[in-house]
Amino acid sequence: MRAVAFDIFGGELDVRELPDPEPAPHGAVIKVEATGLCRSDWHGWQGHDPDIKVLPHVPGHELAGVVEAVGPDVRGWRPGARVTVPFVCACGSCAACAAGQQQICERQTQPGFSHWGSFAEYVAIDHADVNLIAIPEDMAYATAAGLGCRFATAFRAVAQVGEARPGEWVAVHGCGGVGLSAVMIATAAGARVVAVDISADALHLAEVAGATHFVNGSAGDAAAQVRELTRGGAHVSVDALGSPGTCAASIESLRRRGRHVQVGLLPGGPTPVPMDRVVGYELRLLGSHGMAAHAYPPMLELIRAGVLHPDQLVTRTIGLADAGKALASIGSVPGVTMIAPALKV
């Protein structure tokens, strides 16, 4: 198969021929029709993720496609099914999975991290009966691919973990793919959304996604600007980027008893947290790590009903030949970039 791979962390990303994957007894192989470009892939390429232990490595964890083959122990799927997957692939049998919390599975695997990912023509997925999600016939693969990480992650972070309510202020720090998804989902929940970014283009896309107030972080203290706009601070603030600066700004954007949701992965090293404010304001600091496959139906129904429009977040589609350059320069193009392995130009 054709795939994008690297031999050293931070090194060249090139397209090469690699062996086709085989399904595990409990797994499946997916023919990749679309796969998203995500900042988490950049972190993996840079060597920030301890799950990547063997090189060469193929990145990519947001995907949609067609089941190509299944292992002998798979009961619910056959070749030809149109599917997507959560970026956390669960085992289905640990204590967390038994409690319905597959997104924090104790034996989770992640394509693009624990094994070769979806910047390829084919990708292997473990425990197919637990992790595959059927996608509607009328849903484009590019739309479905964006659900597995950024959109489903944002959906759970805003609606379930952050518990955004109608009329509340929600601040979203970082308007990349996850952030724009969070803006759209918070708006659909009836919240008033403040979008925070240093890019005017990203803030324009946030307006399209539903934000009504905007803070350009390059113009000064972003947290102070959010507090002023919201007359005291946001009820919910989401760090959708993942940096010490955006994490602190998100916490400092909150009003008393506000909820901070950390979604963006933070690079290694210490991250200063303004704990005096956390204590004095009785803030809640929450982590959100994807969404389990069984929790997708309500989100898919909102997309089907036209309440949510993840397709509007896709701003370009490229082939594998351009994927390496796009990953190396991630963040330079606003919106969501999709890779179509079948696209030859």
The per-residue pLDDT for range 121-156, each reduced to its tens digit, is 999 999 999 999 999 999 999 999 989 888 999 999
Q: Is 128 part of a structural domain of the chain?
A: yes
Whether the predicted pLDDT of 275 surpasses 70: yes
Q: How many domains, in total, are found in the chain? A: 2
**In the beta sheet, which residues pair with residue 206?**
none
Give 337's strand partners: 316
- Do 133 and 167 belong together in one domain? no
Question: 16-25, 34-43, 163-172 — which is least confidently predicted?
Answer: 34-43
Return the bridge partners of 69, or none: 29
Instruction: Answer for the pair 131, 293: CB distance below 8 angstroms, yes or no.
Output: yes
Helices (H) and strands (E) in the chain, counts: 12, 15
- CB-based contact 34:142 (threshold 8 Å): yes
CATH code of residue 256: 3.40.50.720
Span 283-288, average pLDDT: 98
> pLDDT band for position 267 (50/70/90)?
confident
Domain hosting 12: range is 2-149+291-339
In a domain, 46, yes or no: yes
Same domain, 282 and 206: yes
What angle (nearest 5°) sits at the alpha carbon of residue 105, between those of residues 99 and 111? 145
Mean model confidence pLDDT for the chain: 95
> Do both 122 and 6 map to the same domain?
yes
**Whether 199 and 327 share a structural domain:** no
Is 154 inside a domain boundary?
A: no
Statement to judge: residues 136 and 170 lie in one domain: no
Could you tell me if residue 345 is inside a domain?
no
Q: Are 86 and 169 in the same domain?
A: no
Q: Could you tell me the pTM of the whole model?
A: 0.91
